[in-house]
Structure 1
């Protein structure tokens, strides 16, 4: 795992995902959205646990507002990563795209109560196929004007196809940070060679969906009920973890954490207890190369219907 500094702050190996603080989220969510005091307690526990990265978005309910209120009176600001979503509309003019991007950035800065955002990601990269030149130019302007320190892209569930279709845009030098889906079942960007290319280009890689929205940690009966197609594969992971002498959660963390290309793992929490568990998991032992090889061989080509939550059938 690489050591990165953003705005003078070292990026921690774990970045707290805050979508759960703003809206009920995830197939394994049991407690819904925490209240303000509970959200503050989670943020505080993350800071005490050494977490310096906090991932959010304008579309995550009031998550940006909560982060802004919590950090407002703190002298040392963390690495705040937010995202903007733009309309998938081919009819929009370049001027309108630029206006919306400026407006969304300024709104995020107001909610977070900061003058410069350490990292701004484009949340829906498919829009690059319609307005890539304008978006890239505007990101450069936001960076030039000091509103953002770094720009980037959040690659979504159609990761390998998406990367192939917009490879040249993603590799523009303004896009210094990328957030990608990656876990023991989802090897699409490994298989395509994209992760190696990202690293070779010097991109800062944030890996999300390490537990596949909590699916990997669910009880087997719940998996059978929610995503039955995944059950056999989760059993394979559990078997590999037992052979290695680690928990399934430790295997899932280590598999992603110890890839040299990955800078930080974006992991959410619904409670302080869950947050503290995740911080402890980040110190788990490294899995053996033999086990890593088995994961690649046995789980290297899982269909999108399982690894992409968008494709899960509502039951």
Structure 2
């Protein structure tokens, strides 16, 4: 597993997403939340495979606690941990104090003395509080409570502003075969050249690439209720085209999706969740496969340069009641 050191954190090419350790997550999740034993086996597989970074959050159910229990029971093992925070109207009255309290509580749950990557869960925190947020995070760095300040983006229209503000050491963005404009316009390259660690999530669009045609006809009882008609009309044809590309290259859809992102200039790590230890090992194996040629990558970029926003926006897939 390729590992780089950036901003005093050792970053493996694959980051293990741990939302699955605390919640049932993803449209393709049929296993539900894992037991403690399976969670520990997932973490063992990641550590043994050379993964150095775990991506978690206080919002991910019991994920932080599971990781903390694992580290307490395995003191010889170490991960660089990225955990996330939100700023509310109430906590904004004292951003520094509330973030310090939040960080220290996460440290306690995670059984660590310092948070390597402390990440805003949304760009809205920066939009609303700007320099106040950046100053608070810088103070936490000075105190040794966190190593890096970071921000997770959903609205990537803010990506360039985040790069230009110079206030963050790392950024996490959704990118995949279908959602790749930030590659085409050069923002991923710009962020990396500015010294920002770039983490990419949603490589598999929450497992959407793996759903079979018949899966679009019925609801998954372990996942949120989906807008099946729109999924069939808008999403399925695009997913089938992705499968055609994979078939042409004689590789799996998973390999195609991962390879497209992992070798993109400026991408430091892919955040990939797993429901089982076997999935972790399978994902690790794909990182050792040959790269896709530049010609094929260009063809993919051209094919999927104007995908319907519904297809690449998981939050739009769910039926909202009330």
Matched, 1:305 2:300: no
Q: Quick check: 1:2–1:262 contact (8 Å CA) kept in 2? A: no
Distance of 2:202 and 2:19 partners within structure 1 = 12
Give the TM-score, by structure 2 length.
0.89
Q: Structure 1 224/203 Cα, relative in aligned 2: closer, same or farther at 3 Å?
A: farther
Aligned residue in 2 for 1:133? 131
Structure 1 unaligned residues grouped into runs of 5+: none
Q: Which stretch shifts more, 193-202 or 109-118?
A: 193-202
Unmatched runs of 5 consecutive residues or more in structure 2 = 219-227
| Alignment partners' CA distance in 1, 2:142 and 2:245 | 48
Q: Given the two structures, how large is their TM-score scaled by the length of structure 1?
A: 0.91
In the alignment, the residues of structure 2 paired with residue 201 and residue 145 of structure 1 have an alpha-carbon distance, to the nearest angstrom, of 24
Q: Deviations over 1:67-95 (max 9, x none)?
A: 111112423421111111222x3xx5854
CA contact (8 A) 1:269 1:275 kept: yes
1:182 aligns with 2:175: yes
User: For residues 254 and 103 of structure 1, what CA distance do their matches in structure 2 show?
Assistant: 39
The residue number in structure 1 matching 2:85 is: 84
Does residue 262 of structure 2 align to residue 269 of structure 1? no
Q: Tell me the C-alpha RMSD between the 2 structures.
A: 2.1
Query: Hey, what does 1:20 align to over in structure 2?
Result: 20
Please list the CA deviations of residues 273-315 of structure 1 after superposition, one character each: whole Å capped at 9, or x if unmatched.
2111111122222111121111111111212211011111439
In 2, distance between residues paired with 1:3 and 1:29?
29
Asked if the contact 2:9/2:116 (under 8 Å) is kept, the reply is no
**What aligned pairs does 1:41-56 form with structure 2 within 5 A after superposition?**
41-56=41-56
Q: Distance in 1 between matches of 2:4 and 2:167?
A: 17
Structure 2 SS opposite 1:175: coil
- What are the superposed Cα offsets for residues 229-265 of structure 1, whole Å, 9 maximum, x if unpaired? 1111111111111222211111111000001211111
In structure 2, what is the Cα distance between the partners aligned to 1:313 and 1:64?
26
In structure 1, C-alpha distance between the alignment counterparts of 2:84 and 2:163, rounded to whole Å: 16
Q: Distance in 2 between matches of 1:129 and 1:10?
A: 29
Instruction: Give me the whole-angstrom Cα distance separating, in 1, the residues matched to 2:307 and 2:164.
Output: 27
Deviations 1:200-240 (A, max 9, x none): 21111111101000001111222465422111111111111
